[in-house]
Each structure stands twice: as structure tokens, then as C-alpha cells.
């Protein structure tokens, strides 16, 4: 009963904080709500015995990505943006799309058959530790997609360097 209560709390808290992120008019407030949402998400990962993912969530997302978002928000001219009502007409279409997405998520979850487990059961993961099992799966079964993702990131880093480099006259 207690695990379901904790999971329910985290699910409701993350959903409510996500809604606060996208509905606030002030972008700085949205970033702060996002920080709280990231910490709740990391707590849910800890609850699910995924300590490595929880640490990465805090270090990468709550640390680096959120600071980047905050710098971008602070570099914008927010006085003009806060006074305009640009997206008022888009709410009905957004509501219809959100309801369709929620319905598709509900139907995909309801078709899930519990009891079918793969090679990695809870007992196996707890015996071997989550980080070790994640490394085994990542570097054996998913090595090719992992390498493709690293090449894409390398290309984006090179592109950012090329775009940021000042052109010098020879």
C-alpha cells in the first residue's frame, strides 16, 4: 500500500508541476517550477531503485540544462513578451491535442499485460545493481544506437563551434 501511495504522490506532483511550468506567464517562474519538477522526478527514480538515473537527473538536468534555460530566459527582453497576448486563440486546439494524447496514452497503458517479464527481473537488478545492469544493456544490446547518438552529439558540437567561431580576415 505504501509504495502505491508514494508512486501516486510523485505522479500527481510531477504532473501538477509540469502544468505549472507550461502555464506560467513569467518564464523565470516557469524555470523555477521546472527545477522543482526535476527534483521530484529524481526522487521518483530513487523510489524505483534507479540511483544512477536519479543522480544523472539532478546533475545534468537540474544542474546544467536548467542553468542554460535560466541564462537564455534572462537574456531575452521579457517586458514586451509579458504584455502581449499572442497565444490566446491556440488554447482550444491545444486542449484537443492534449486530450487526444492523454486518450492514446490511456489506451496504450490499458493494453499492457502485467506479469510478463524479460531477462532483467527485479531480483536480478537488485543482485547485480542497477548501474551494472544498465551498463551491460547499453554496451551490449544497444551499442549501435548508443554510438549513433554519440556521433550525432559530436556533429552538433562541431556545428556549434563552427557557428560560434568569429570569422577572421586573413
**DSSP secondary structure, 60-112, as one string:** IIIIIIHHHHHHHHHHS-HHHHHH---SGGGHHHHHHHHHHHHHHHHHHHHT-
170 pLDDT more than 80: no
Number of domains in the chain: 1
CATH (domain of 52): 1.20.120.1200
Range of the domain at 127: 2-86+120-164
pLDDT tens-digit readout, 67-89 = 888 888 777 766 665 566 666 67
In the prediction, which pLDDT does 113 show?
Answer: 61
Inside any domain, residue 135: yes
Give the integer Cα–Cα distance in Å for 2 and 32.
29
Q: Tell me whether residue 111 is in a domain.
A: no
145 within domain boundaries: yes
Q: pLDDT tens digits for 108-162?
A: 877 666 666 677 777 887 888 888 888 888 889 999 999 999 999 899 888 888 8
Q: Is 97 domain-assigned?
A: no
Q: Give DSSP secondary structure letters for 6-53.
A: HHHHHHHHHHHHHHHHHH-SSHHHHHHHHHHHHHHHHHHHHHTT-HHH
Amino acid at each position: 500500500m505504501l509504495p502505491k501511495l508514494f508512486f501516486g504522490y510523485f505522479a500527481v506532483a510531477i504532473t501538477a508541476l509540469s502544468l505549472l511550468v507550461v502555464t506560467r506567464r513569467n518564464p523565470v517562474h516557469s524555470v523555477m517550477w521546472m527545477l522543482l519538477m526535476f527534483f521530484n522526478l529524481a526522487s521518483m527514480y530513487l523510489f524505483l531503485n534507479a540511483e544512477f538515473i536519479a543522480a544523472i537527473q539532478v546533475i545534468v538536468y537540474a544542474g546544467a540544462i536548467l542553468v542554460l534555460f535560466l541564462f537564455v530566459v534572462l537574456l531575452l527582453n521579457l517586458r514586451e513578451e509579458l504584455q502581449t497576448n499572442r497565444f490566446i486563440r491556440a488554447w482550444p486546439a491545444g486542449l484537443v491535442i492534449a486530450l487526444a494524447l492523454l486518450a492514446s496514452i490511456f489506451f496504450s497503458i490499458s493494453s499492457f499485460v502485467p506479469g510478463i517479464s524479460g531477462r532483467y527481473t527485479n531480483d536480478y537488478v537488485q543482485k547485480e545493481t542497477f548501474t551494472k545492469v544498465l551498463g551491460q544493456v547499453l554496451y551490449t544490446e544497444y551499442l549501435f544506437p548508443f554510438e549513433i547518438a554519440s556521433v550525432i552529439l559530436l556533429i552538433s558540437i562541431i556545428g556549434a563551434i563552427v557557428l560560434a567561431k568569429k570569422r577572421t580576415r586573413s
